[in-house]
Structure 1
Amino acid sequence: MPRIASGFLSSMSAGVVVIKVGTSSLVDVEGGVLRLSNLARICETAKELRGRGYDVVLVSSGAVGVGCQKIGLQERPAKMSQKQALAAVGQPHLMKYYHDFFSALGMTCAQVLLTNDSFVELAEYLNAKSTFKELLKYGAIPVVNENDTVATDHIKIGDNDTLSAKVAIMVEASWLFLMTDVECLYTSNPRVNPDAKPIHVVNDIRQLHVETGSGTQWGSGGMATKLTAARLFTAAGGRMAVCESTKPESIVQIMNGEQVGTVFNSIGAPLSSKRRERKKWILSVSVKGQIWMDDGALDAVYNSHASLFAAGITRVIGDFGAMDSVALCSSDGSQFGVGLSNYTHEEIRKVKGKRSKWFADELSGYMSEEMVHQNNICLLSNNGDSNGESDSSS
């Protein structure tokens, strides 16, 4: 084994902290120039967290924005090919900024570009996880982004808020921080509604009702995508916070228990205890559709950890294939879980509401009476052992 300089390998980590840096945090909306002071302070915060014993992962937007700056564009383009070209221009410059700042702080960073396949295929998911593990062992700060230049479906996995939640689940982070251009979550947009009230703590995101908006011209996110990230990560047992990008020191303040930003507390079991690897992976797979169910099926799946059968299905939304991820919803459309479907959307539409014994002949590839097996279901809640794993077949 090669000799490593003393102190270079990370040991006795206090946990992993994932910090997502949005485009609006890095690019000035008015002038379209890079906010170098913000970037420098975020890197300094990463160093402080390392000094406290935490491993740090950054999920950084900004490649397209930096590309626009380098080319001299005043507005972010709409065409996919233009975005991909600008991402190719901007990504190496963005990484150079990170490299220069971290080098000045005596630290090493690493570029990690992910695609949707990194989460769709379990083998690739586990390989990516192993890469993160080794990078953190070497004391490097992984800087993560979507591989925008080769993305074919969309310029983003969904958005970098969701990407950061998936990465945080993958690396078994204890905290996820979403840096944004507002100091916390409000009941509505404070720029439009002067009566909007700040929300500093959310103990159960399922009970949260707020107005959300879209992102800026430079970024693709908004508060809605941050709430999606919170649903994923808190279900996986982590704590997430939204805080202002111009005050990265608030990350340490939040971890010390101060009332800064908005903290979303965990509603799921801790990542390292009750969640097996397959369950964590299922939470990370992009959802392709929805399956709605009646109250009886909801009670069986949610409270008894049972499989989902056709008789309890009332509605199917979206186009998905066998073993694609689907959102599991109650009769009013509220999502309470995710699962891997045994059948395509066309097949489930054929048999929804029917008893299993009546529809075997209607499914050409009939394999199982379960539409979604209990071993492939993850609940977005803390309902006892909310993802009860009663057998070892998963």
Structure 2
Amino acid sequence: MSTSENPTVRAEIASARSVVVKIGSSALTDIDSGLDLDRLDRLADALEARMAAGSDVIVVSSGAIGAGIAPLGLKRRPTDLATKQAAASVGQLALAHAWGTSFARHGRTVGQVLLTAHDISMRAQHANAQRTLDRLRSLGAVAVVNENDTVATDEIRFGDNDRLAALVAHLAGADALFLLSDVDGLYDGDPRKGDARLIPEVAGPADLDGVIAGSGGALGTGGMASKLSAARLAADAGVPVLLAAAADAGAALGDATVGTAFAARPTRMSARRFWVRHAAETRGRIVVDDGAAVAISRRKSLLPAGVLDAHGRFSAGDVVDVVDSGGAIRARGVIAYDVDEVGEMVGKSTGDLPPGLRRPVVHADDLVGV
């Protein structure tokens, strides 16, 4: 059992009224036999205990593709998109049925919510998903969320359910996020090598100096790198995170004394800025010179004189990446002009432009650093 140097963060997580709990593929499925119903029942019991203690719980459940591998006679997790989608179509049905059966033991009704990155990125779908989650909770049902792997393509995927869980935590206005998988916390190295140290708490970016994060395992796409990314995303939304082993779900969802606790940023990012930075689909890229890159890092507006080039098919009001001359993304923002208009403005001072093109390319209020 680990203890935090700052018990406030763990106390906040332990007492959170509304929580999102992400459960990794490795905690639910086996490459040979598919879904492990005993493990799923134990997780449902821990989640039920949290709900009985007064918390609203949303479950983000991985495992659809893993659950479809064995029934389809596959020997390993597929790598091509079509087979992934086929496995998900079989596994999603089994996964939803298993959660429904397990929670029925406690008299709970389960509602399945399938999302794609497009649903989160578009404001209308974003709001609809939010209303669905809120209504399920108000009706006493347990929302079980997963990425809609049967229709998501590589270009529009969340990438892993850690990121999906962090976005759902923001979407639902959750007070805490739990990431439960086959790892028992964040280490400063590879724990399999025997000399790594558990990091009990991450108060800010400085605590991650020197940490080496790996990729996912055989059944899932999320490794430690994706969990760190999700924790940072949640922190922007003002949501503290507990990273722990699914085998320790009872303690994690109880007094939160296991795993690694990530503190939220002191000031929650506004919903609009969070959407621009983390959720919106970008429609293009604006390449800027060194001076403009420095200016936007200081939260200044992007002016036409600093623009070197524009790529993509965007219109006024779309979100674009702002990149420096080396291709590194420096910010995301809501563009004020269509791509053709930006092309006419490249490198020109404001005074050399017609009156209709004298506003900033991206106003400081619409720019978010990444």
TM-score (norm 1): 0.77
Q: State the one-letter code of the partner of 1:42.
A: L
Q: State the one-letter code of the partner of 2:23.
A: V
CA 1:207 to 1:74, structure 2 compared with 1: closer, same or farther past 3 Å? same
CA 1:334 to 1:183, structure 2 compared with 1: closer, same or farther past 3 Å? farther
Q: State the one-letter code of the partner of 1:58.
A: V
Task: Tell me which moved more, 225-234 or 135-144.
Answer: 225-234
Q: State the one-letter code of the partner of 2:334.
A: L
SS at match of 1:246: helix
1:72-116: per-residue Cα shift (whole Å, max 9, x none)? Answer: 322112221111111111111111110011000221111001122
2:360 pairs with 1:370: yes
- Tell me which residue corresponds to 2:262: 264
Q: Superposition pairs for residues 212-361 of structure 1, below 5 Å? A: 212-253=213-254, 256=255, 258=257, 260-267=258-265, 269-270=267-268, 275=270, 277-282=271-276, 283-286=278-281, 297=292, 300-301=295-296, 303=298, 305-312=299-306, 321-322=314-315, 323-326=317-320, 338-342=332-336, 355-358=349-352
Offset of 1:288 from its aligned partner?
6.3
Aligned residues: CA RMSD: 3.3
Q: CA separation in 1, counterparts of 2:362 and 2:236?
A: 19
Q: CA separation in 2, counterparts of 1:310 and 1:206?
A: 35
2:116–2:156 CA contact under 8 A, matched in 1: no
Q: CA separation in 1, counterparts of 2:358 and 2:266?
A: 29
Q: State the one-letter code of the partner of 1:100.
A: T
5+ long unaligned stretches in structure 1: 1-12, 381-394
Identity over aligned residues, as a percent?
Answer: 37
TM-score (norm 2): 0.82
Offset of 1:141 from its aligned partner?
1.0
2:243–2:261 CA contact under 8 A, matched in 1: yes
SS at match of 1:179: strand
CA 1:358 to 1:219, structure 2 compared with 1: closer, same or farther past 3 Å? farther
- Which one has a larger percent helix, Structure 1 or Structure 2? 2
Offset of 1:121 from its aligned partner?
1.5
CA 1:139 to 1:117, structure 2 compared with 1: closer, same or farther past 3 Å? same
- Tell me which residue corresponds to 1:108: 109
Q: State the one-letter code of the partner of 2:30.
A: D
1:162–1:228 CA contact under 8 A, matched in 2: yes
5+ long unaligned stretches in structure 2: 1-14
- Tell me which residue corresponds to 2:28: 26
Q: CA separation in 1, counterparts of 2:347 and 2:54?
A: 53
Q: CA separation in 1, counterparts of 2:125 and 2:265?
A: 27
- Tell me which residue corresponds to 2:9: none
SS at match of 1:20: strand
- Tell me which residue corresponds to 1:204: 204
Offset of 1:285 from its aligned partner?
2.1
Q: Which has the higher contact order (CA 8 A, sep 6+)?
A: 2
SS at match of 1:149: coil
Q: State the one-letter code of the partner of 1:22.
A: G
